[in-house]
Amino acid sequence: MQQISARLKAEGKTIGLVPTMGFLHAGHLSLVEKSKKKSDVTVVSIFINPTQFAINEDLNKYPRDIERDKKFLRKLNVDYVFIPEASEIYQENYQTYVEVEKITKILEGEFRPTHFKGVTSIVSILFNSVMPNYAFFGQKDAQQAAVIKQMVKDLKYNVSIFISPIVREADGLAMSSRNVYLSAAERHDALVLSRSLKLAENLVLSGERNTGIIISKMNDMINSVKNSKLDYIKVIDSDNFTLTDRLIKNKNYYVLIACRIGSTRLIDNTLLKIR
Ligand code: PAF
């Protein structure tokens, strides 16, 4: 991969990387489209990264279908698909990790304390392998995007990061490879996540600025679904990922949710622009 990228760069071409764990959906494909517009050459990586899963998580059952993924990518005329083996990425005696300190400790970090260390390490390895000019991530993993931006800034990676909006199913469910875990009834229950985010948006439109009130109303809505178990609802300043009590004019905030529906853990969010 490095040799291919070095050759492309010597030819003066720009490289866009879309890092994925496969089982692609329309959200991933929107990132590919964006990369294709911005870059001369698009590389999609498919790698289910073991170091970002804790031992009690779903690494072994994470959905995979490389042939289906390749078909999608061929249709989009993607230039390269990079599918390394775990043994190539984490060779024997592997011992180096990249860790962003502060923003990885809150929200997802409280529930998945080792997760972001795995993410930043693999993204760092992918950057060193593909040597992209641009890399594309989704807003659904808003905290992951913020963590990666922090890493790029701190470690001076010469890569521009682009974040694309969440792609949703027609009924509002945020696209996620993990949605396949949901039974029909659970999938219906899972709509409460996007409904509660809509509620937050509507409260803000009607003038509510107290995040405690917004969260409490969202909480009531989510708790009314029997099969749900909330990990958190938080409102944070989108610039610095700090929690906030009051929404202030001319600032942007994320409302972020993590919630279990049955045994499936889902995350979702919305960006509030206060004007
Ligand atoms: O968002 C994902 O799919 C993964 O966390 C990523 C960025 C591909 C790293 O494994």
168 alpha carbon to ligand 1 midpoint, in Å?
18
Range 36-59 average pLDDT: 98
Same domain (yes/no): 33, 153: yes
Looking at the chain, the whole-number percentage of residues with pLDDT higher than 90 is 100
Determine, yes or no, domain membership for 146.
yes
Which one of 64, 121, 123, 178 would you pick to mutate in the ligand 1 pocket, going by the greatest count of ligand atoms within 8 A of its CB? 123
Q: Decide: 19 in ligand 1 pocket, CB within 6 A.
A: yes
| Predicted local distance difference test score (pLDDT) of residue 24 | 98
Tokens of residue 254, six digits: 């994320």
Q: Which of 111, 136, 164 is the last residue of a domain?
A: 164
Q: Which atom of ligand 1 is nearest to the CA of 123?
A: 9
Tell me the C-alpha distance between 207 and 44, whole Å: 42
| Predicted local distance difference test score (pLDDT) of residue 195 | 98
Instruction: Please report the sign of the dihedral spanned by the C-alpha atoms of residue 238, residue 239, residue 240, residue 245.
Output: negative
Amino acid at 243: L
Same domain (yes/no): 159, 46: yes
Same domain (yes/no): 14, 95: yes
Same domain (yes/no): 26, 155: yes
Q: Which of 164, 195, 221 is the last residue of a domain?
A: 164
Range 257-262 average pLDDT: 98
Range 20-41 average pLDDT: 98
Same domain (yes/no): 181, 159: no
pLDDT in tens, 198-246: 999 999 999 999 999 999 999 999 999 999 999 999 999 999 999 999 9
pLDDT in tens, 76-88: 999 999 999 999 9
Same domain (yes/no): 203, 140: no
Q: Which of 145, 50, 140 is nearest to 94 (CA)?
A: 50
217 alpha carbon to ligand 1 midpoint, in Å?
32
**Annotation says 188 is catalytic:** no
Determine, yes or no, domain membership for 206.
yes
Q: Decide: 52 in ligand 1 pocket, CB within 6 A.
A: yes
Determine, yes or no, domain membership for 172.
no
Determine, yes or no, domain membership for 170.
no
Q: Which residue's CA is the closest to the ligand 1 atom numbered 2? A: 20
3-state SS track over 182-193 = CCHHHHHHHHHH
In this prediction, residue 148 has a pLDDT band, given cuts at 50, 70 and 90, of: very high
Total number of domains constituting the chain? 2
Q: Decide: 31 in ligand 1 pocket, CB within 6 A.
A: no
Q: Which of 112, 132, 164 is the last residue of a domain?
A: 164
Same domain (yes/no): 131, 193: no
Q: Decide: 18 in ligand 1 pocket, CB within 6 A.
A: no
pLDDT in tens, 154-177: 999 999 999 999 999 999 999 999
Q: Assign residue 208 the CATH number of its domain.
A: 3.30.1300.10
| Predicted local distance difference test score (pLDDT) of residue 23 | 98
Determine, yes or no, domain membership for 171.
no
∠ CA 235-59-241, rounded to 5°? 20
Determine, yes or no, domain membership for 169.
no
236 alpha carbon to ligand 1 midpoint, in Å?
22
Q: Which residue's CA is the closest to the ligand 1 atom numbered 1? A: 20
In this prediction, residue 128 has a pLDDT band, given cuts at 50, 70 and 90, of: very high
Containing domain of residue 11, as a range?
2-164
CB 268 within 8 A of CB 194: yes
